[in-house]
Amino acid sequence: MSSHKAELYYCELCGTEVVVKKGGDGTLHCCNQKMSCRVD
């Protein structure tokens, strides 16, 4: 999975949110699970 600039990812367990500043390949993880991309 790749991330793109300005996407917002969040952790469904603890609620942590991450805004992508520089996109790239890879997967964001928090609490030992993949973070979800928030779609507005």
Is the alpha carbon torsion for 29, 4, 10, 37 positive or negative? negative
Domain that includes residue 23, residue range: 2-38
- Cα–Cα nearest to 8, from 35, 21, 18: 18
Q: What pLDDT, in 10s, does the model give residues 4-37?
A: 888 999 999 999 999 999 989 989 999 999 999 9
Residue 12 vs residues 6, 18, 24, 33: alpha-carbon distances, Å: 19, 12, 22, 9
Q: What is the CATH number of the domain that holds 14?
A: 2.20.28.100
pTM: 0.80
Instruction: Supply 4's token pair.
Output: 């793109």
Q: What is the pLDDT of residue 33?
A: 97
Indicate the number of domains in the chain.
Answer: 1
